[in-house]
Chain A
Amino acid sequence: MSQSSFMLNSKIAEVIKNINKVIVGKEDAVILSMVALLAKGHVLLEDVPGVGKTMLVRTLAKSMNCEFRRIQFTPDLLPSDVTGVSIYNPKTTEFEFRPGPILGNIVLADEINRTSPKTQSSLLEGMEEANITVDGRTVPLKHPFFVMATQNPIEYEGTYPLPEAQLDRFLLKLKMGYPSYQEEMEMLARTSGTHPIDSLDPVMTLEELAQAQESVRGVYVDRTIEQYIVSLTSATREHPDVYLGVSPRGSMALMKAAKAYAYIYDRDYIVPDDVQYVARFVLPHRLIMTSEANFEGKTAEEVIEELIERTNVPVQRNVSE
């Protein structure tokens, strides 16, 4: 599905190349992380521990010279452990704000489903509002702000599954998957000496990133593409296996992600291929399947795949305008 035969944006190509020094394989995950970053969205990684989630985020942060923070969610974690807390300073006789880990550029929220909903929502609120409120004070979050939350597959015990309404705060939901045999061998070879992340140099400044995000916003979306996006999302609402379809917010997310994806491939306009590709990661976690479908083992990913195959791709210029 990757479009490697088409040209990448040169700056992004540099970043990806840098990341690939550390991460073996996982091109999709890398590209999609970039998509979320450029579209100012956040990523939910759903996978078992130890497949390189943390390493991916750390590499990303280091490549862009970002401030990297990590929150390990545990059942006893409090919201203030995320947002930070005001502490009385006897010297100045004032409450002084000690920022929490959310006030970084790139935040890894590990195992987000292991903490209480209250703590979860403190993070989710920040992701949504781009600022947080601590002790009645509004604290703006940093720019750029990018959360990569990981979650163990929800069947595991001792977890607090994220409510559906919260899930669509994430632009994308990805799976890393296990590396292939070859990739794992390569991984061992690379990490046997010094870990390559230690010698990684930043290749993109924050200004450049902000610029890139600005450019993504300027990517042209033709009317035909908008129609295509809406056709796709509205088709989810009519699918018999779907209890609750994609919301308009999902359509917007799809467009944003497609824009970023187009930008990564050095285009200033979206083609249907962009929409199709990102739809596989933008849409499934926004669907609620019927219990019958769940029972039959049909997944949201399958529904989306089916709809992509079925929905007519616009191939002619829209002349109604």
Chain B
Amino acid sequence: MKKLLLSLIYIGGFFLLLEWLWPLGILTNTQNTGVFYLYAAFCFFLAFMQVRWYIAVPLKLLGLIFILDGLFIPERIFSSGWWSILYEQLMFNAEAVWAQEWWNFTAFFRSLLFLVLLWLVSYLLHYWLVIARRALFFIILTFVYITVIDTFTPYEAQGAIIRTFVLAVFVLGLLQLEKEVSDDDRKEIKWKTAILALAPLVGAVLLAVAAGTALPKFSPQWPDPVPYLENVTGGAGTGDGEGGVQKVGYGENDSRLGGAFVQDDTLVFQAIVEDRQYWRAESKDQYTGKGWEDTLEEPVTGRDPGDIGYSLFEETVETDPSQGFIDFTEEADFGKLLYPYGMTTIGNLENPLEIDLHTQTGEMETRSGGDSVQPASYTFDYGAPAFDLRQLREAGGEDPASVREKYLQLPSSVTERTKELASEVVSEYGNRYDKAKAVESYFSSNGFEYSTTDVEVPEAEEDYVDQFVFETKKGYCDNYSTSMVVMLRAEGIPARWVKGFTGGEIKETDAELFGENLNAYDITSANAHSWVEVYFPDIGWVPFEPTQGFTNNADFTSGTDTDSGEPERSEESPEVEAPDQQQEGNPQQIGEEEGTDGSAESGREEGFLRNLLWWLVPAVILILPAVLYVTRLRWLSWYYGRRLAKKETPDTFQAAYRHLLVVLDKKVQKRGEGETLRAYAKSIDRRFETVDMQHLTTQYERLVYRKEERLQRTGLSELWENLIKKALS
């Protein structure tokens, strides 16, 4: 009966530990988290079965080796190649440790550390729950951990809180029951009593959960702390994963896309324009299979703000001239101009800034004396393009060599099935525009789902696009836009990946500016976005929007009469949507516009891994001595026991006996200052109902008080073991 209680407590403890592990899979983009859960379960199981250490330690070690082998070492296990890889890994990381370059640790070593941590934690929990029978502290820690994780990371802990609550109440209840059982040794609990005792516990927990679910709840009384705090502190954060907290925003590094993120409604800038605009920052040309990189190019420096002289499309495209104004908050410090499609001039830059233009990417860096500076506000003139559908469809001719060279690039990681899919999707269509539209709309159905939380990071050999298109089908703008670019490129259509911000939320209509009535929009970090530009000869770069729930910002006019006879599906042509309609027509949009540019996550992710490591190393360093200290009686017992069993000499016996005194004093019964060994032995023996302690004591007395140099009897080791076992159990 006691066993059953203990096992229930233990299982409860294991699930509590799992609550600690779940977020790791999501936050650190760690793959194969299942293995870690399994390993934790394995360690728990061994501890629970009270497997002897000399079996348990090799077993755990073997498990550890098998996991590492399966994850990281391709060689056959225990082959010479395997050993050499292991050796190299260990040497490399040992050097990293030596040099204190924690970030240089390989995944292999990180996993190794993590597994060791799990091992230790399983031991610690075993100690806490089964030996010390205290769980409250661990439960409180669990709650703190979950709430912190929920607040500052994308992990949604709603379920976790409820699960933890249930587990916590169960474990505490069971512990209490167990305590009462062991307080009264003689009273052997019957099954019936046990069920009677457990039933109210189960009932109370269920009732509490049910009541908690059913009762009305207040909406949050406090603002979401992350944006709030950043507002208060004038927080920086273009999303470069500070402190391992992933949140959305504009960032520089897009080399590794994927992973979940959390919404962040910190205001980045306010724009006063006629219509909702996409705010372009830059484009990227090189797809790496994991993310995007720039081909570096020298910027054209010292552009005249009065005449940017840079356009994404040719003059043949009709434009609708307009004016606008941008006002950045402290939050923005990416050192770039944001601009709508068709911008021509910039005015009223507050401070005399130089503008460095990267003609390839369209990135306009603002500098002052060589330092990157974010302008506080500026006005601009722009001509919003209205692309003529007929013109687009008829656009023929050769792509310029410079375009073909850069924007058809594909890494070897792009899979055959991606290419096959691309050709299948576009097969029906003859011209570039229809092909692009076909790919764009491919993602709006076919089982794709917009998600910011449940997004995976590709594994080492996996392609980012392949993973999204064929495996997960869940993702946000980066997944959609990258996939579209890759599929178009596979079909020989030059395309590139663009980042910036979406139009934001309308704040004020009829804002007075330039004597006109314009609209004011609030653009937050959550509006960071990525989309696609496709090159059309003689027209230029035309934006496309493959992401579900988003609508293309650019206008497409059906121009003349030709549109009716087109083979396209009807929804393609009337892309002429007013911004207001967009918002209403797309209720998802507001909630989902957090779609970030990938830079944020990739930077975050790296930062997070590094952070995890920063935590992991000190955690192991801290926990190891803690575990050693907490378990010192056990391993010291083991040590003295071994010594005594090996050879029973006065020395080993005296050491072992003194250790026994310490253990008994700590675990069983205190020995008073003036209490003699003999009297103490007697009361211990009375307690344990043995005479072993008195036998040992008589022997010990002869050594100490009679200065004998040899032992009078043998088999002391056995008596000693018996007592130690009783004392420690």
Interface residues of A (CB under 8 A from B): 3, 5, 220, 222, 224-225, 268-273, 276, 308-317
Asked whether A313 lies within 8 Å of B703 as measured between CB atoms, the reply is: no
Question: Which residues of chain B have C-beta atoms less than 8 A from A5's C-beta?
Answer: 682, 694
Docked pose: A276 CA to B675 CA in angstroms: 10
- List of A residues within 8 angstroms of B694 by Cβ: 5
The chain A residue sitting closest to B694, CB to CB, is A5
Cβ contacts B692-710/A at 8 Å (1 or 0 each): 0010000001111111000
Q: Which residue of A lies closest to B650 (CB)?
A: A317
Query: How many Å from the CB of B644 to the closest CB on chain A?
Result: 16
- The 8 closest A-B CB pairs, nearest first, are A269-B706, A309-B674, A272-B676, A273-B676, A273-B678, A317-B704, A222-B705, A313-B676
- Checking A3, A271, A309, A310 against B701 with a beta-carbon cut-off of 8 angstroms, the contacting residue is A271
- Chain A residue with the shortest CB-CB distance to B673: A312
Across-interface contacts of B676 in A (CB, < 8 A): 271-273, 276, 313
* Contact of B532 with A by CB under 8 A: no
State the Cβ distance, A119 to closest chain B Cβ, in Å.
41
Residues of B within 8 A of A224 (CB): 704-705
**What is the minimal beta-carbon distance from B690 to any residue of chain A, in angstroms?**
14
In the complex, the answer to whether A312 meets B674 with C-beta atoms within 8 Å is: yes
Which of A269, A273, A308 is B702 in contact with, Cβ under 8 Å?
Answer: A269
**Could you write out 16 A-B pairs with CB less than 8 Å apart?**
A222-B707, A224-B705, A268-B706, A269-B702, A270-B705, A271-B705, A272-B678, A273-B679, A308-B674, A310-B674, A311-B673, A313-B673, A313-B677, A315-B677, A317-B654, A317-B707
Q: Is B120 an interface residue (CB 8 A)?
A: no
Given contacts A272-B676, A317-B707, 15 further A-B contacts (CB under 8 A): A222-B705, A222-B707, A224-B704, A269-B706, A271-B705, A272-B678, A276-B674, A309-B672, A313-B674, A313-B677, A315-B658, A315-B661, A315-B704, A317-B654, A317-B704
Distance between Cα atoms of A91 and B16 in the complex (Å): 112
**Interface residues of B, count at CB 8 A:** 20
Nearest A residue (CB) for B682 = A5
| A269 close to B705 (CB less than 8 A) | yes
Residues of B within 8 A of A271 (CB): 676-678, 701, 705
Interface of B is mostly: helix
Output the least CB separation between B703 and chain A (Å). Answer: 6
Q: Which residue of the partner chain A has the closest CB to B700? A: A315
- Give CA–CA (A309, B672) in the complex, Å: 7
- Alpha-carbon distance A225/B676, docked complex (angstroms): 12
CA distance A311 to B704 in the complex (A): 18
Q: Is the CB of B702 within 8 A of A310?
A: no
Distance between A94 CB and nearest chain B CB, rounded to angstroms: 56
Minimal Cβ-Cβ distance residue in A for B701: A271
Chain B hits for A3, CB < 8 A: 678
Once A273-B679, A315-B661, A316-B658 are accepted as A-B contacts, the answer to whether A225 and B674 lie under 8 Å apart by CB is no
- The chain B residue with its CB closest to the CB of A308 is B674
Residues of A within 8 A of B673 (CB): 309-313
A222 to B706, CA, bound (A): 6
Q: How far is A317 from B661 in the complex, measured between Cα atoms in Å? A: 14
Chain A, residue nearest B677 (CB): A315
Question: B676: shortest Cβ distance to chain A, in Å?
Answer: 5
CB contact between A220 and one of B658, B682, B703, B706 (< 8 Å): that residue: B706
- What chain B residues lie within 8 Å of A316 (beta carbons)? 654, 658, 704
Closest to A1 in B: B679
Interface centre among A5, A312, A316 (most CB of B within 10 A): A316
Contact with A along B662-690 (1 / 0, CB 8 A): 00000000001111111100100000000
Closest CB-CB distance, A20 to chain B, in whole Å? 24
A269–B699 CA distance with the chains assembled, in angstroms: 13
Within B525-580, the residues touching A (CB, 8 Å) are: none
- Which A residues are CB-close (under 8 A) to B672? 309
| Contact across chains for A225 and B705 when beta carbons are under 8 A apart | yes
Give the interface centre of A224, A276, A308, A315 by most chain B CB atoms within 10 Å.
A315
Residues in A with CB closer than 8 Å to B703 are 317
The residue of chain B having its C-beta at the shortest distance from the C-beta of A315 within the complex is B677
Contacts of A312 in B (CB 8 A): 673-674
Q: Which residue of A lies closest to B678 (CB)?
A: A273
Q: Which residues of B contact A268 (CB under 8 A)?
A: 706
Interface centre among B654, B677, B694 (most CB of A within 10 A): B677
What B residues does A225 contact at CB under 8 A?
705
Point out which of B661, B674, B701 has the most chain A C-beta atoms below 10 A from its C-beta.
Answer: B674
B679 contacts across to A, CB distance below 8 A: 273
In the assembled complex, the CB of B502 is this many whole angstroms from the nearest CB of chain A, namely 79
Closest to B672 in A: A309
B65 shortest CB reach to chain A, Å: 44
Contacts of A273 in B (CB 8 A): 676, 678-679
| Bound complex: CA A312 to CA B679 (Å) | 14
Tell me how far the C-beta of B276 lies from the nearest C-beta in chain A, rounded to whole angstroms.
86
Chain B residues lying within 8 Å of A313, measured Cβ to Cβ, are 673-677
B677 CB, min distance to chain A CBs, angstroms: 6
